[in-house]
């Protein structure tokens, strides 16, 4: 592997990403990531993963 990937869980209760949430949406394969605090969030099983 070329690098280490950080995986930190953010709960949906903390913030619900959506079209009008204020974070930039980025299409990523079959889902949408949201730019948040210098990284991307991707919804996964009731929480958000950092990308």
pLDDT digits (tens, 9 = 90+) for 1-49: 444 455 566 666 667 888 888 888 999 888 888 887 788 888 778 787 7
Whether 37 is in a domain gets the answer: yes
Whether 10 is in a domain gets the answer: no
Q: Are strands 9-11 and 25-28 parallel, antiparallel or unpaired?
A: unpaired
Whether 48 is in a domain gets the answer: yes
The per-residue pLDDT for 15 is 74
The per-residue pLDDT for 2 is 46
Whether 30 is in a domain gets the answer: yes
The per-residue pLDDT for 45 is 80
Q: What is the pTM of this model?
A: 0.63
The residue to which tokens 């953010």 are assigned: 10
Whether 9 is in a domain gets the answer: no
Whether 16 is in a domain gets the answer: no
The per-residue pLDDT for 37 is 78
Phi and psi at residue 33, to the nearest 5°: -100, 155
Q: Total structural domains in the chain? A: 1
Whether 15 is in a domain gets the answer: no
The per-residue pLDDT for 13 is 64
């Amino acid at each position: 592997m070329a690098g280490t990937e950080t995986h930190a869980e953010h709960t949906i209760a903390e913030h619900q990403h959506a079209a009008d949430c204020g974070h930039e949406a980025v299409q990523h394969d079959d889902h949408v990531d949201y730019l948040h605090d210098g990284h991307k969030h991707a919804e996964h099983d009731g929480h958000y993963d950092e990308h």
